[in-house]
Structure 1
Amino acid sequence: MGARLLPRTLPELFSYSLAIEREATKRYTELERFLRAIGVEHIADEFERLGREEREQYEVIALGTSGRELPELAGWELSWHFAAQAAEAHAPCSTRQAIAMALSLERRTQAFYNDVAEHARNDAVRAFAAEMANDEQRHVLRLEILL
């Protein structure tokens, strides 16, 4: 198995982050709908809040990078993230499974940002990745409480 390539510059990391946050927003919306359909309103409300936070994070990064040319990512560059998610792409069968799916997504994302924060050579890249990892940790903790 080949080594995962990590972003080396802020524009590269911003490209990764935009893709990750966009997908997280989409996934939370799907899971929220499922939870509402089965009548678990209080957990659906939390998923709605988490999805909103992901969308806001996306918007902040998009606004901060508007007018800048960001590198396009090849599909395989995020395969570590989306391949695992594709395996979970089926609809959840229970509230617990929906929470576990969201938790898995957040943990993969946090691991990515921690990896970048630990191994990037650029100080700004490390700092932004560490900040994003901390944000993901807050989501992980909230989801763990729901389990």
Structure 2
Amino acid sequence: MSQVQQHDQIPSFDSVAEFFAQALAIEVEAAERYTLLADQMEVHNNREIAEIFRKMAAIESEHRDEVARRAGDALVAGRPANFSWTAPDGPETTELEQLHYLMTPRQALMLARHNEERAVSYFEAIAATATDPAIAGFAREMAEEERQHVAWVDQWLLKFPADEPGWDEDPDPPLYSE
């Protein structure tokens, strides 16, 4: 099965403006989610992971700005994105349930890699099904940019050793009162 999950619906677009609105919404959501993840890791004093997530937020913010620049006048009408996926979040967003307060840099980067791979598959699927050649072309370009993000994460992963067994064992776990 491809990285696009069975529950993800690949949207069709009536205009390039709709495609760019969707692409922009995906990048905005990804940047916001990475910022939220970084904030959560700081709360748990996992500053190394917070830094990784902040870097990913910056990358997604740059990509968001590039999509907005490329969209140009296509978004002049201010059309909000019509979210077409059926999952709770977009195709380039880490689900909060995947976060662990003791996670390692490698695990954080693997989450980021998974997100980027899903985005590649998402845009490839749009390119393959689009009836408008302009939309198909833009979707292929977006898929290629996401492939570059996968390559960056892969290079980053080389800097970190494999995780030690028992990485999630906490001799002093947090206490929750009800």
Shared fold (TM-score, shorter chain, > 0.5): yes
Where does the alignment leave 5 or more consecutive residues of structure 1 unmatched? none
Q: Which residue of 2 aligns with 1:11?
A: 17
Within a 5 Å distance, the mapping from 1:1-147 to structure 2 comes to 4-33=10-39, 34=41, 37-40=45-48, 44=51, 47-63=53-69, 64-65=72-73, 68-75=76-83, 77-80=84-87, 82=89, 88-90=95-97, 91-92=99-100, 93-95=102-104, 96-145=106-155, 146=157
Structure 1 84/24 Cα, relative in aligned 2: closer, same or farther at 3 Å? closer
Higher helix share: 1
Secondary structure of residue in 1 paired with 2:89: helix
- Measure, in 2, the Cα distance between the counterparts of 1:86 and 1:124: 26
Deviation of residue 123 (structure 1)?
1.7
2:61 maps to amino acid: R
Contact kept? 1:50, 1:139, Cα under 8 Å: no
- Encode CA deviations 1:78-97: one digit per residue, 9 max, x unaligned: 32471777883133341233
- Measure, in 2, the Cα distance between the counterparts of 1:48 and 1:132: 22
Larger radius of gyration: 2
Q: What's the TM-score, normalizing by structure 2?
A: 0.64
- Encode CA deviations 1:58-95: one digit per residue, 9 max, x unaligned: 223334247612543445x1324717778831333412
- Encode CA deviations 1:91-120: one digit per residue, 9 max, x unaligned: 334123322221221111111111112221
CA RMSD of aligned residues (A): 3.3
Structure 1 89/66 Cα, relative in aligned 2: closer, same or farther at 3 Å? same
Which stretch of structure 1 is more off in the superposition, 20-29 or 87-96?
87-96
Where does the alignment leave 5 or more consecutive residues of structure 2 unmatched? 1-5, 159-178
Q: What's the TM-score, normalizing by structure 1?
A: 0.75
Q: What is the percent sequence identity of the aligned residues?
A: 26
